[in-house]
């Protein structure tokens, strides 16, 4: 029984590792790349504009959290990379450019999700040549779609320090912006509480379903 459970965990790690690491790594690289294009080279100078996952590993978000969720057989897997440093004062137009920089991360995840959807379509058409290993690749690709959509939608929740909160901070009046600034140190605790208690998923799940269904429809899957 223990060997079976361990085997399942190892199989999941093998299938999930590549899409998971690319999802969280390219999310952060997208932030840094956008900032670099808009005048802030902080991430570039620190060597963070690389797809090498080692440069982006966060001990808690990249290793500990996913490991705990896998061991607990959680119905979902979540994690994050070390945030890319951004200095808004270096941006050419800080108010406008911070919106672009913040939105770049989720946008990268949606692009990756679409890439995995295309891979799923190709596998559906030509996967017979893979034989029994096709199931492994289906598991990898499906996780790539779901996790990237989850990461993109989750980060668009308008609570700082999530990307959606940073976008909201730039478009609201200064008085409300000040309130968001005071909320930010506790933002992640608020988000976790909303996730554990359930309200957050009531919003995220329908949005994820809509985006995922739309992507699969575009590549030829009819739901």
Cβ neighbours for 119, distance < 8 A, ≥ 6 positions apart: 141, 144
Report domain extents, the chain.
2-218
Q: Is 8 a catalytic residue?
A: no
Q: 3-state DSSP helix/strand/coil percent for the chain, to nearest 5?
A: 80, 0, 20
- Both structure tokens of 35: 């900032």
What confidence tens digit (pLDDT) does each residue in 146-186 have? 999 999 999 999 999 999 999 999 999 989 989 999 999 99
Mean pLDDT of 20-33: 96
Confidence of residue 67 (pLDDT cuts 50, 70, 90): confident
- Structure confidence at residue 135 (pLDDT): 87
Residue with tokens 């997208």: 30
Annotated catalytic residue within 8, 28, 142, 184: 28
């Amino acid at each position: 029984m223990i060997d079976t459970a361990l085997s399942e965990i190892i199989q999941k790690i093998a299938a999930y590792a590549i899409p998971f690491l690319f999802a969280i790594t390219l999310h952060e690289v997208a932030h840094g790349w956008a900032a670099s294009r808009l005048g802030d080279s902080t991430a570039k100078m620190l060597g963070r504009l690389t797809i090498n996952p080692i440069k982006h590993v966060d001990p808690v978000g990249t290793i500990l959290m996913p490991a705990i969720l896998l061991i607990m057989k959680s119905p979902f897997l979540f994690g994050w990379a070390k945030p890319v440093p951004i200095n808004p004062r270096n941006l050419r137009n800080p108010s406008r450019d911070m919106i672009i920089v913040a939105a770049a991360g989720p946008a990268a995840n949606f692009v990756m999700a679409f890439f995995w959807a295309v891979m799923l379509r190709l596998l559906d058409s030509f996967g017979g040549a893979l034989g029994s290993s096709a199931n492994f690749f289906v598991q990898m690709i499906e996780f790539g779609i779901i996790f990237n959509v989850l990461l993109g939608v989750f980060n668009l929740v308008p609570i700082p320090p999530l990307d959606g909160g940073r976008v909201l901070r730039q478009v609201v009046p200064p008085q409300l912006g000040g309130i968001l600034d005071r909320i930010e140190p506790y933002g992640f605790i608020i988000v976790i509480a909303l996730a554990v208690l359930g309200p957050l998923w009531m919003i995220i799940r329908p949005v994820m379903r809509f985006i995922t269904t739309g992507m699969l429809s575009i590549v030829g899957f009819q739901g």
